[in-house]
Amino acid sequence: MPDVRPDRALLVARIERLLAEQGLRPGERLGSERGLAESLGVTRSALRDALDVLAGSGRVRRVMGRSGGVYASDGRIERRLNTIEGVPALLRQQGVGLTTVVLRADLGLATPPERRALRLPEDGVVVRVRRRRDAGGRPWSLERSTFPAVRVPGILERDLSGSLYELLGSGYDASPVEAEEEVDVRGADADAAAHLDLAEGEPVLHVWRVASTADGLPIELGTDLFRADRTRLHLRRYGASWKRSAQR
């Protein structure tokens, strides 16, 4: 933890003790800034100074907006498996800053795996976009999205640094509404390690995905690599049998 003033250090220690006493899991809400300042008997300015220290060390995160507040954290980013929400919105909800670096974007003939996933003919053409996502100023994910070129004309002339799903919706009326995903753990190869600031062989979460539009046609084949040490997977189960057992 960085050096801090004695009074700030005492307040940091009090908040850490509060987190421990409540046994909060990462993602659980500690409270609002106003409520915490009142309960601790300090000004909001003093509280924010202490929260800056805790946020910097990954112990808490702050979220703005109606559902905002101070949340317990272990420094990892939550990747939700039961939503196809874009990364910008996902990180915004978690109060984490995002920077996107477009590494490559081009047209090409679809490979056999791309043809199968996107249901393309043998002469099918695809658009491939490769990007790195930096979360909180540090590399987090390496993404490759492949789209049927016929469904996204002119996309290479557009800004590819934002949400591609939002672009699909606003520019092509092709918003993904469902996705099939597979997740496994792999060792980072030399290329992934270089982009994600890892040593070769360190674990990464590999996500394979096919996203489809409302007409049931695939619009994206995605392969993403996430730093395993910075990512937590979250899944919410649905179904009558699960709900019944949960109510017991």
Backbone dihedral region of 14: left (phi > 0), alpha (psi from -120 to 50 degrees) or beta? alpha
- What is the distance between the alpha carbons of residues 247 and 240, in angstroms, rounded to a whole number? 11
Task: Give yes or no: residues 65 and 124 share one domain.
Answer: no
pLDDT averaged over every residue in the chain: 85
Residues 40, 128: one domain?
Answer: no
Please report whether residue 246 resides in a domain.
Answer: no
Flag whether pLDDT at 3 surpasses 50. Answer: no
Phi, psi of 199 (to 5 degrees): -85, 145
Which of these three, 72, 99, 124, is where a domain ends?
72
- Judgement on whether residues 28 and 94 belong to the same structural domain of the protein: no
Based on the domain organization, do 122 and 153 belong to the same domain? yes
65 in the same domain as 31:
yes
- Is the residue at 126 inside a domain? yes
Q: Is residue 105 part of a domain?
A: yes
Do 230 and 139 share a domain, yes or no?
yes
Q: Residues 108, 179: one domain? A: yes
Q: Which of 57, 72, 87 is the last residue of a domain?
A: 72
Domain final residue pick, 72, 90, 105? 72
Could you tell me the CATH number of the domain that includes residue 164?
3.40.1410.10
CA distance 81 to 179: 10
Domain annotation covers residue 247: no
CATH number of the domain to which 40 belongs? 1.10.10.10
Q: Report, as an integer, the average pLDDT of 101-130.
A: 97
Contact 12, 218 (CB under 8 A): no
Check pLDDT > 80 for residue 32.
yes
- Say what percent of the chain tops pLDDT 70: 83
Q: Which of 19-28, 124-133, 182-191 has the lowest mean pLDDT?
A: 19-28
Same domain, 59 and 112: no
Please check whether residues 46 and 68 belong to one and the same domain: yes
- What DSSP string describes the chain? -----HHHHHHHHHHHHHHHHHTPPTT-EEE-HHHHHHHHT--HHHHHHHHHHHHHTTSEEEE-STT-EEEE--SPEEEESS----HHHHHHHTT--EEEEEEEEEEEEPPHHHHHHHT--TT-EEEEEEEEEEETTEEEEEEEEEEEGGGSTTGGGS--SS-HHHHHHHHHS----EEEEEEEEEE--HHHHHHHT--TT-EEEEEEEEEE-TTS-EEEEEEEEEEGGGEEEE-----HHHHHHHT-
181 in any annotated domain: yes
Check residues 242 and 121 and name the one with the higher pLDDT: 121
Residue 235: the pLDDT is: 67
Whether residues 55 and 27 share a domain: the answer is yes
| pLDDT of 241 strictly over 60 | no
Distance CA 200, CA 189 (A): 6
**Inside any domain, residue 102:** yes
Whether 1 is covered by a domain: the verdict is no
Domain extent for 212: 77-234
The total number of structural domains that make up the chain: 2
Q: Contact, 201 vs 185, CB < 8 A?
A: no
Same domain, 186 and 217: yes
Q: Does the residue 152 lie in any domain?
A: yes
Residue 95 has pLDDT above 70, yes or no: no
Both 60 and 173 in one domain: the answer is: no
